[in-house]
């Protein structure tokens, strides 16, 4: 049981550092509420699950090739930059809890999280290192059922963090003034654009370096 709890803690620690998903969750929660923020995290988790399956079946090395990484850097640049600009543009107009953009569906929130995570080469390398090492460690000592259980522990930790982020964003939406919420939304957008620019630089470095 203690081993399972340690994998839940691992999932929490993997999700906690500020990144594109957390920034997007904060922005969506402030502008549209709990479920939009949570679904961004669920979309990211779906991508994480795909990475884990690819590593489990031993085909993640294909994604780590220069051509695929270049495509992902470029794709991630457009996704993150567009989302960041969209966040900044709509910061003032969608903070009010009584107003919700008609085109901001829960499905769009899920797709935002999924596209951010699936197009992030750093996520691929991250899961190769983390989950690859977990596979190497546990496969020699545990049965497949236990390996599946520990993988679910990681996902449970990620889920708990997603719920926490969605709750924090929703709480801020109810407690903070419209001006502060607008500033937070703008900062979140700038963080997303910053990650997008970083992705673009990495694409140019891979292409021309």
Phi, psi (5° rounding) for residue 105?
-85, 165
Q: Give the structural domain span for 174.
A: 2-11+19-208
**Residues 3, 152: contact at Cβ < 8 Å?**
no
Distance of CA 170 to the CA centre of its chain: 18
pLDDT of residue 201: 93
Return per-residue pLDDT of the chain as tens, 209 residues: 677 788 788 788 777 766 788 888 888 888 888 999 999 999 999 998 888 888 778 776 676 678 888 888 898 898 889 888 988 887 766 555 444 454 567 889 999 999 988 888 777 777 777 777 666 666 556 666 677 787 888 889 889 989 998 998 888 877 877 788 788 788 888 988 988 898 899 889 988 87
pLDDT in the model for residue 65:
76
Indicate the number of domains in the chain: 1
State how far the Cα of 109 lies from the Cα of 107, in Å rounded to an integer: 5
pLDDT of the residue at 102: 46
Q: What is the pLDDT of residue 97?
A: 47
Question: Quick one: pLDDT at residue 182?
Answer: 83
**How far is residue 158 from each of residues 14, 15, 20, 78, measured CA to CA in Å?**
7, 6, 15, 26
Return the SS3 of 18: coil
pTM of the model: 0.78
Tokens of 129: 């290192």
Q: Give the total residue count for the chain.
A: 209
pLDDT of residue 172: 80
pLDDT of residue 40: 93
Q: Using DSSP, state whether 146 is helix, strand or coil.
A: helix
């Amino acid at each position: 049981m203690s081993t399972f709890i340690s994998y839940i803690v691992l999932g929490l620690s993997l999700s906690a550092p500020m990144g594109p998903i957390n920034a997007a969750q904060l922005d969506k929660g402030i502008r549209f509420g709990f479920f939009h923020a949570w679904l961004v995290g669920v979309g990211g988790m779906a991508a994480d699950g795909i990475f884990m399956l690819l590593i489990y079946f031993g085909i993640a090395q294909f994604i780590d090739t220069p051509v695929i990484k270049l495509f992902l850097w470029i794709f991630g640049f457009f996704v993150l930059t567009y989302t960041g600009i969209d966040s900044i543009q709509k910061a003032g107009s969608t903070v009010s809890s009584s107003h919700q953009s008609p085109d901001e569906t829960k499905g769009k929130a899920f797709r935002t999280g999924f596209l951010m995570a699936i197009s992030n080469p750093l996520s691929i390398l991250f899961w190769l290192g983390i989950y690859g090492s977990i596979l190497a460690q546990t496969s020699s000592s545990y049965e497949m059922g236990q390996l599946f259980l520990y993988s679910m522990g990681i996902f449970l930790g990620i889920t708990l963090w997603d719920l926490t982020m969605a709750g924090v964003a929703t709480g801020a939406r109810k407690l903070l003034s419209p001006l502060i919420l607008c500033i937070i939304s703008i900062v979140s957008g700038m963080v997303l654009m910053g990650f997008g620019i970083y992705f673009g630089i990495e694409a140019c470095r891979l292409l021309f370096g």
